[in-house]
Structure 1
């Protein structure tokens, strides 16, 4: 099948103090969130001048993708649309239609399945297409890449470097965004995270007994069970027996707000209070292997005649191009997620 554009789709984030509250209103639209909670989250952005790192990371990633496609092909223009802040997805789809794009592939900055990480992006893409109307291009989302070598190998190198800093026997906490347990049961999210953790740990030389999967950034009613343990609780459990720990945010593709605040600020402060040295591993960002992965995912969708179209996996089955019908249903009541998410 032929395509004439690539669309990068992400969460979006504010780029100045005046953007913060409008951005939060977009994220929380339709959700019953107390105003004091909204103000509390806004203060998190104030610590960073009202700027989320996410849009800057995406600009750098898109520039790298454009350069990679220009060097190796396929020669596709790259567009960018966000779910919650400018450039808004509907505006971008409208621009694509005006440029004559008829069929595009979408790369989403979320590696895992689940409602928030996959299906909601599909819904938002279709909502944007509906807003544009009959001229809107067909947009096919690229497959999940949680076990693609271009995602796993940069994470493993980052973990290896962080563990060398912390100490060769330091335990590793693989961190990802928590979700309600009910949502986890109806999606492949947790299973895919554990697959990534095993693959990354094996490549970085971390024994299975030396790592665990933990979660961060939970929100919503305390009465609703979410995936645990929380990263800060896990730090407290490790402190009596260890001097240092590595936290590796495998749930994220870049060092955006949920890494910078939830880990580098909150979790790091918890570690200091516990007398525990915390070393945080990096994310793929614009690692050349991650950029190449995007090109490879595009090539595999163009068909077997395209060079580099092999369906690669670092371990385990390659996820299908289209998710099974009915997977990852929307929760009946969607609790507010912490904003600044890069999923």
Structure 2
């Protein structure tokens, strides 16, 4: 496999604490300038401390990187893989400086977000621009110029991702008691964002709402692949002031509605997440699972695709696509942009936010 003028691949993610002392500084990084009340930070801090002050996200991303490296080797592609985060170590600024010092001149960027919208796409372009500026300032542009960084496109509807989720739904169904499997309600969940942020996701000329449209299309594709014709799409993990409207319904509120309508069991598929980080293991495996038990609902949660071999294969396909070796594989109809150079937005005017949003998507 030819790599042309590409020297490296950068996995770009959200970041998370890896010891108790990291938790509060990490949360302050995430919420800086967003007017999140201190009592909300106190609440979220306790979620992390419940798991020993360690978010699973960095360890999971290292596992994904190892799988991508193995897949690149199988593809006969000598492409080093770097790891950088938006909010915690290894910070992307430090990683890009390391890349520059190693002589990397052009790299592709694989984000751990499959989506469009501000937090899931445009903010990653901002991360790229900030990291390049920092690298050039700290190392000297003439001696070690910051590499050109090209973000790979959205992949929410890639057949490998859809297949991984569909198989995970089938496995989750088998975890339920046999008498609950046939009638179990399939519920897809993704990270909520402020309604105003979703309204400006994508281009105004296309009606905005790109993020929620992509989530709904991904849910439809995964449901069909798993053999379901009926399902629900809900949201989770909202933060910020209560007077700001966010996408609804919340997963726990929806479980109450389902129980009230006579449902006996649910299969929850976290279609908005690529790995089991804190917003999956707390919001779903703890809060939603406890709510289901309180309501007498059988509960099974589908696995996220990060550990599935198909996820690493997807990443390498996107690399090959960006190099012009293969055409794009997509199952959906919603816009799938996401590429850009040196932090520039994928399309001028795309995902222009009205105000700084407090969503956190990884």
Query: TM (normalized to structure 2)?
Result: 0.89
Aligned partners of 1:196 and 1:250 also within 8 Å: yes
Verify the 8 A CA contact 2:37 2:240 in the aligned structure 1.
Answer: no
Q: How many Å apart are 1:315 and its aligned residue? A: 3.5
Q: Is the 8 A contact 1:74 1:299 kept in 2?
A: no
How many pairs does the alignment contain?
A: 333
**Alignment match, 1:197:** 219
Question: Hey, what does 1:319 align to over in structure 2?
Answer: 336
Whether the aligned pair in 1 keeps the contact of 2:292 and 2:298 (CA below 8 Å) is: yes
Q: Is the counterpart of residue 332 in structure 1 residue 332 in structure 2? A: no
Does the C-alpha gap of structure 1 residues 317 and 116 become closer, same or farther in structure 2, counting only changes over 3 Å?
closer
Q: Which residue of 2 aligns with 1:120?
A: 123
**Residues 1:131 and 2:148 aligned together:** no
Alpha-carbon deviation of 1:317? 5.9
CA contact (8 A) 1:10 1:342 kept: no
1:213 to 233, 253, 257: 233
Give the corresponding residue for 2:90: 87
2:184 corresponding residue in structure 1: 170
* Residue deviations 1:202-253 (CA, integer Å, cap 9, x gap): 000011xx30100001111221111111101110011131111111000000
Change (3 A) 1:333 1:302: closer
8 Å CA contact retained: 1:253, 1:342: no
Once residues 67 and 282 of structure 2 are traced to their aligned partners in structure 1, the CA distance between those partners, rounded to angstroms, is 26
Unaligned runs of 5+ in 2: 202-209, 341-345
Which portions of structure 1, spanning 4 or more consecutive aligned residues, are displaced by more than 4 angstroms?
none
CA shift for structure 1 position 330: 2.9
Task: Tell me if structure 2 keeps the 8 A contact 1:256–1:342.
Answer: no
**Residue 55 of structure 2 is aligned to residue 52 of structure 1:** yes
Q: Which residue of 2 aligns with 1:39?
A: 42
| Larger deviation, residues 290-299 vs 235-244 | 235-244
| Residue 52 (structure 1) shift | 0.2
Q: Is the 8 A contact 1:311 1:318 kept in 2?
A: no
Contact 1:4 1:104 in 2 (8 A): yes
Query: How far apart, CA to CA, are the structure 2 residues paired with 1:276 and 1:185?
Result: 34
Gaps of 5+ in 1: none
Q: Is the 8 A contact 2:194 2:357 kept in 1?
A: no
Give the distance between the partners of 1:315 and 1:30, measured in 2 at CA: 36
- Report the Cα distance in structure 2 between the residues aligned to 1:330 and 1:315, rounded to whole angstroms: 25
Counterpart contact for 1:3–1:104, Cα < 8 Å: yes
Contact between 1:6 and 1:105, CA under 8 Å: does it hold in 2? yes
Give the deviation of 1:13 after TM superposition. Answer: 0.4
- Alpha-carbon contact 1:179-1:227 (below 8 Å) kept: yes
Q: Secondary structure of 1:80's partner? A: strand
Q: Provide the C-alpha distance between the structure 2 equivalents of 1:316 and 1:164, rounded to a whole number of angstroms.
A: 31
- Provide Cα deviations, 1:279-330, integer angstroms capped at 9, x if missing partner: 1111101211111010000001111xx3xx1210134367244432111123
- C-alpha separation in 1, matches of 2:104 and 2:334: 32
Which residue in the other structure is 1:17 paired with? 20
1:277 aligns with 2:298: yes
**Alpha-carbon contact 2:172-2:302 (below 8 Å) kept:** yes
Indicate the residue corresponding to 2:206 in structure 1: none
